[in-house]
Chains A and B, each alone.
Chain A
Amino acid sequence: MSESVDTFGRRLHYLNADFGVKSWLLTRDHKRIALLYLISITIFFALGGLMAVGIRLELATPQGDLVQPDTYNRLFTMHGVLMIFFFLIPSIPAVLGNFLIPLMIGAKDLAFPKLNLASWYIYNIAGFFTLWAVAQGGVDTGWTFYTPYSTTYSNSYVIATALGVFISGFSSILTAVNFIVTIHRMRAPGLTWFRLPLFIWAHYATSLVIILGTPVIAVTILMVAAERLLHIGIFDPALGGDPVLFQHLFWFYSHPAVYIMILPSMGVVSELIAAFTRKRIFGYKFIAGASVAIAVLGFLVWGHHMFLSSQSVYAGMVFSVLSMLVAVPSAIKVFNWIATMYKGSVSWDTPMLYAMGFIGLFTIGGLTGVMLATLGIDIHVHDTYFVVAHFHYVMVGGAIMGYLGGLHFWWPKMTGRLYPVFWSKFAAIIIFVGFNLTFFPQFLLGYLGMPRRYHVYPADFQVLNVMSSAGATVLGVGYLIPLVYFVWSMRYGKRADRNPWGAIGLEWNTGSPPPQHNFHEIPTVDWDAYGYLPDTPAGTGESWGIAVPTQRQDRTQDDG
């Protein structure tokens, strides 16, 4: 394979093939767009995190002594809006998916490179729109925008925020269309569907959910705006509308949206488990099928958010049963990952620590979801901190753990640099501890009856709340450490070779960072994914400065 070099004999790749602001802002290279997205979503993550700091500071004491009730409402609303629509939904697909899908399937780029760039611009416009609403005074309806409060009573910036969310939906849709077409039409010769890495299957399923769900939330937001501005009666009973209809439409999208967040993360975890146990994923077809099953079943359960909304008890029963069904494919994945680890040569590198974090925390989050889907239990804990703990276990403990694990796994590929091993493991452990300290007490608080979305609470709840706020501090520090060493590594990190983990996959068969057009020659694939057989030669793994044997089966005792 020939490498191109510049006039000084340095290897040319996508980062140094072109220079200057314009070469970035007008790029059509999926790898550069992925980095642009990485910067944008990191900013929104930081802003959303800042709001969380405000919430946890206020809740450190039972009295409302830091912010006004009204301000508190705005804090948790903006926290939810920024984290869900501007961080979690784009996170893995727009950064890792964007970067890796073409590399993993042996393509030169996504099918529609210009649309890809457009999606980044649309995302930023949506973000600025929302930030503008924040600067004006924010919005106080909760990220759920429930009617008739949002359409009739709230005097905050509902329409501006909602339009921000509306616009961001278009960027998701463009990304999803791009992924679907790319996966259908641009696979390398020989790369059949069942040879695809599970990361690709997960993104395919996610893209389907985005395309089928996002238009519904878009229309719903427009209806909210129409009612608020023009007083067209859709949701407001005073105008002849029905407020519960809003909840049906909202959750038709927003329950599947939780799978938009978790499915890509599951895709990452499949890659990590295979690479760090040196085994083919156990039950490959089941995991691939489970992704699609989750995408489909995820659309049939939304009523579990509405058990106490005056929804009929019969519909409640149907939604309850269907919700339990959706736990089945999730459980299939967890069991298969664990079965993969069984008798594998497990090495505890940083990404694997995150994968372990994902499995444990997602399992707790998923199982408490099944508890919530049980009608009787939900009556007790609906709208309490129990629900808050549940969804943070799946979204922060699940989705973000997967995102960080993926970033740590592919960072050498994306930047060509290595980060400090010690600090990365240290941060992974801090994050795990901080996470549990923050959110486990919230299960107890909710079960004891502390409602969500209030800025004051009875003094009896203070100990658990202080634990939670203290945990949030630890978690915050945990998130800052990777930020520091990732930035540091771009300049000072050791150079990575093409395959620092000795992993299998087309993305590891090209340079780190990859050349501008990914591959010097398009590969032909005649093997299944994860061919980690005992006698396959491993990658060198040299660049981490640790002794990695060249034969995979020798890695049994190796903890590097």
Chain B
Amino acid sequence: MSEHVTSITTYLVIFFALLVLTGVTVGVAYVDLGPLNDVVAMAIAVFKASLVVLFFMHVKNSRRMTKITVVSSLFWLLILFGLTLSDYWTRGFLG
């Protein structure tokens, strides 16, 4: 097991990036992008969450096992959403 020490600078850069992205989210809320409104907000949120998971939660420099765990839990979330949407998206098919 290798102990990786993340430098303070990295933390600060990430923290700053998160602040900026929060600002962007707020800013974008004032611009009407039509159907893209939700997409953009979610994309930024996902990006921010990834930064937190990778750097603040140290997944980036973790062992393979930890990475597999993270990826498989995301995959499970996909199952939950995917099969649920398989219901909602096909309800209209019968007319």
Which A residues are closer than 8 A to B by beta carbons? Answer: 212, 216, 244-245, 248-249, 252, 299-300, 302-303, 306, 310-315, 318-319
B76–A303 touching, CB < 8 Å = no
Nearest CB of B to A489, in Å: 43
Interface residue? B94 (CB, 8 A): yes
Question: Number of residues in B with C-beta < 8 Å to the partner?
Answer: 13
Nearest CB of B to A296, in Å: 10
Would you list which residues of chain B between 68 and 95 have a CB under 8 Å from chain A?
73, 76, 79-80, 83-84, 86-88, 90-91, 93-94
What's the dominant secondary structure at chain A's contact region?
helix
B94–A315 touching, CB < 8 Å = no
Which B residues are closer than 8 A to A by beta carbons? Answer: 73, 76, 79-80, 83-84, 86-88, 90-91, 93-94
Which one, A249, A300, A312, contacts B91 given CB within 8 A? Answer: A312
A397→B94 CA distance, assembly (Å):
40
B84–A248 touching, CB < 8 Å = yes
Using A314-B86, A314-B93 as known contacts, list a sample of 10 further A-B pairs with CB atoms less than 8 Å apart, ordered by residue number in A: A212-B73, A248-B84, A299-B76, A299-B79, A302-B83, A311-B87, A312-B93, A313-B94, A314-B90, A318-B86
Which one, A216, A249, A299, A312, contacts B87 given CB within 8 A? Answer: A312
Top 8 nearest A-B pairs (CB, nearest first) are A315-B87, A314-B90, A312-B91, A312-B90, A248-B84, A315-B86, A311-B87, A312-B87
Closest B residue to A244 using CB positions: B87
| B79 cross-chain contacts in A, Cβ below 8 A | 299-300
A315–B83 touching, CB < 8 Å = yes
A212→B93 CA distance, assembly (Å):
32
Closest A residue to B76 using CB positions: A212
A300→B84 CA distance, assembly (Å):
10
Nearest CB of A to B57, in Å: 17
A373→B81 CA distance, assembly (Å):
22
29 contacts between A and B (CB under 8 A): A212-B73, A216-B80, A244-B87, A245-B84, A248-B83, A248-B84, A248-B87, A249-B80, A252-B80, A252-B84, A299-B76, A300-B79, A300-B83, A302-B83, A303-B83, A303-B87, A306-B87, A310-B91, A311-B87, A312-B88, A312-B91, A313-B94, A314-B90, A314-B93, A315-B83, A315-B86, A315-B87, A318-B83, A319-B83
